[in-house]
Amino acid sequence: MKINFKDKKALIRVDFNVPLDKSYSITDDTRIREALPTIRHILDQGGSAILMSHLGRPLEKRNADGSINREKFTLRHLVKHLRKKLKARVHFAEDCIGKVPVKKAAALKPGEVLLLENTRFYAEEEQGNPEFAQKLAALADVYVNDAFGTAHRAHASTTIVANYFDPQHKCFGFLMEREIENARRVMQHPEKPVTCVVGGAKVSDKIVLLERFLDFADQIIIGGAMAYTFMLAKKGSIGNSLVEPDRVKAAKEFLKKAKAAGVKVLLPKDSLCGDKFAADATVRIFPSHQIPESWMGLDIGPVAAKSFGRAIRQSKTIVWNGPMGVFEMPAFAEGTKYIAKAVARATKSGAFSMVGGGDSVAAVNQLKLAKKVSFVSTGGGAMLEYLEGKALPGIKAIAG
């Protein structure tokens, strides 16, 4: 962060959209912990921090009488935890715009924190309303965006607010800087060979990503249910496996483009199949292009896992998005586990590895391998769009 925050009031967009239990206790404070270095840095420099975030979807999940369920969606639930973690004075403003935050922001002293109420109590937030954004901006001297997970949305607090600060008075927080830097590292100057691993349910969700990977990958590994659409494209039989027949053409075209670009595409040679979509299904291994009727591929098979693992271990840069099978069911989690371990081993031998996208992140966390890969993106949909090559409004608003 290039700004000197001494005696400055910094308006920081954080992602405090944390899960709460029935008594409104935080069940996973990862997102809060991740924002701490940025806040701490600003306070330590002698600045003060005005924090804003959304929590849940209060305008969609209203009370029966149509009113907003303030009790459920208030950010006040986080104040005690924040005080403990930051070891600083944390004030709370019962609104994010209007007289209350204006008064409290004006009274804020260096080293102190003001947490604003949920920005999504106002429809103007998601509409990206300029007047609303201007009111938020007026609370502070500088704007810091540290919420990468919402950077793909042109909301008032994530994007529009930045229009009211000149380039010297706005910047990314540490978390956001790291996400951008790591994504650029793999896309712009990756050490070769580069392997991209893509899994998950649907080709339709990932086709843009796959095509983008052709720009910098040496090989692309495709697993998960997606692989069966590719098997159909290669005239295989896939039994009852999850498939998108309307994407077979796109899969064929992708394979052609990959060939022309000299990028190797690895599909699973074999599949671990179940006789039903259930944790207690009877399990058998079949070649992925010869799955009998009434069987469905629910994970990559052992031969595929070994060949994918080998390819991963020989790589210098690895990007992974999406599980290799229905990893939520232990019987079909082995393929994803094998890949996670191969990525961890390659990292130990000096490769740079980045895991992004909800489910592969969940898999890496479940296996306690998060610390054994180079970077786990918290970005979800935002990271997917960034890797796809889209200009994210939250990034553009600051970096131009």
Query: Closer to ligand AMP at the Cβ: 172 or 327?
Result: 327
Q: Please, which residues have CB within 8 angstroms of residue 385's CB and are 6 or more apart in sequence? A: 152, 392
Indicate whether 200 belongs to the interface with ligand AMP (CB under 6 A): yes
- Catalytic annotation on 262? no
Q: Cα dist. 308→70, 214, 357 in Å? A: 49, 18, 19
- Catalytic annotation on 358? yes
Question: Rounded CA gap, 321 and 311, in Å?
Answer: 16
Q: Which of 231, 291, 287 is nearest to 255 (CA)?
A: 231
- Catalytic annotation on 301? no
Name the catalytic one among 72, 316, 381, 390: 381
Indicate whether 323 belongs to the interface with ligand AMP (CB under 6 A): yes
Count of chain residues binding ligand AMP (CB under 6 A): 16
Question: Rounded CA gap, 27 and 31, in Å?
Answer: 11
Which DSSP symbol is given to 24?
-
Question: Rounded CA gap, 256 and 263, in Å?
Answer: 10
Question: Rounded CA gap, 170 and 43, in Å?
Answer: 16
Indicate whether 328 belongs to the interface with ligand AMP (CB under 6 A): yes
Indicate whether 208 belongs to the interface with ligand AMP (CB under 6 A): no
Indicate whether 335 belongs to the interface with ligand AMP (CB under 6 A): no
Among 102, 201, 362, 370, binds ligand AMP (CB under 6 A): 201
Q: Please, which residues have CB within 8 angstroms of residue 135's CB and are 6 or more apart in sequence? A: 97, 98
Query: Closer to ligand AMP at the Cβ: 187 or 201?
Result: 201
Query: Closer to ligand AMP at the Cβ: 47 or 297?
Result: 297
x/- binding map, residues 343-382, to ligand AMP, per CB under 6 A?
Answer: --------------x-x-----------------------
Backbone angles phi, psi at 231, to 5 degrees: -60, -40
Among 47, 101, 239, 322, binds ligand AMP (CB under 6 A): 322
* 259 CB burial (10 A radius; 0-12, 13-18, 19+): exposed
Among 318, 326, 339, 376, binds ligand AMP (CB under 6 A): 326
Query: Closer to ligand AMP at the Cβ: 52 or 373?
Result: 373
Question: Rounded CA gap, 115 and 105, in Å?
Answer: 10
Name the catalytic one among 202, 257, 306, 313: 202
Please give the residues from 219 up to 238 whose contact with ligand AMP meets the rule CB under 6 A.
224-225
Query: Closer to ligand AMP at the Cβ: 128 or 357?
Result: 357
Identity of the amino acid at 271: S
Q: CB of 272: closest distance to ligand AMP in angstroms?
A: 9
Question: Rounded CA gap, 140 and 102, in Å?
Answer: 9
Give the binding range for ligand AMP (CB under 6 A) out of 73-81, 95-103, 194-202, 252-260.
194-202
- Catalytic annotation on 202? yes
Give the binding range for ligand AMP (CB under 6 A) out of 19-27, 49-57, 197-205, 253-261.
197-205
Question: Rounded CA gap, 105 and 116, in Å?
Answer: 10
Query: Closer to ligand AMP at the Cβ: 100 or 250?
Result: 250
Query: Closer to ligand AMP at the Cβ: 97 or 291?
Result: 291
Name the catalytic one among 149, 224, 356, 358: 358
Indicate whether 393 belongs to the interface with ligand AMP (CB under 6 A): no
Question: Rounded CA gap, 40 and 244, in Å?
Answer: 48
Question: Rounded CA gap, 230 and 221, in Å?
Answer: 12
Among 141, 205, 211, 385, binds ligand AMP (CB under 6 A): 205
Two tokens, residue 157: 């607090």
Q: CB of 199: closest distance to ligand AMP in angstroms?
A: 6
Q: CB of 36: closest distance to ligand AMP in angstroms?
A: 29
Two tokens, residue 346: 């390659």
Indicate whether 394 belongs to the interface with ligand AMP (CB under 6 A): no
Question: Rounded CA gap, 24 and 32, in Å?
Answer: 15
Question: Rounded CA gap, 116 and 139, in Å?
Answer: 11
Please give the residues from 242 up to 301 whose contact with ligand AMP meets the rule CB under 6 A.
242, 297-298
Backbone angles phi, psi at 111, to 5 degrees: 90, -5
Q: CB of 379: closest distance to ligand AMP in angstroms?
A: 14
Strand order in the sheet with 90-93: 90-93, 113-116, 48-52, 9-13, 142-145, 170-172
Helix (H) or strand (E) holding 142: strand 142-145
Q: Which residues are catalytic?
A: 31, 202, 358, 381
What residues line the site for ligand AMP (CB under 6 A)? 200-202, 205, 224-225, 242, 297-298, 322-323, 325-326, 328, 357, 359
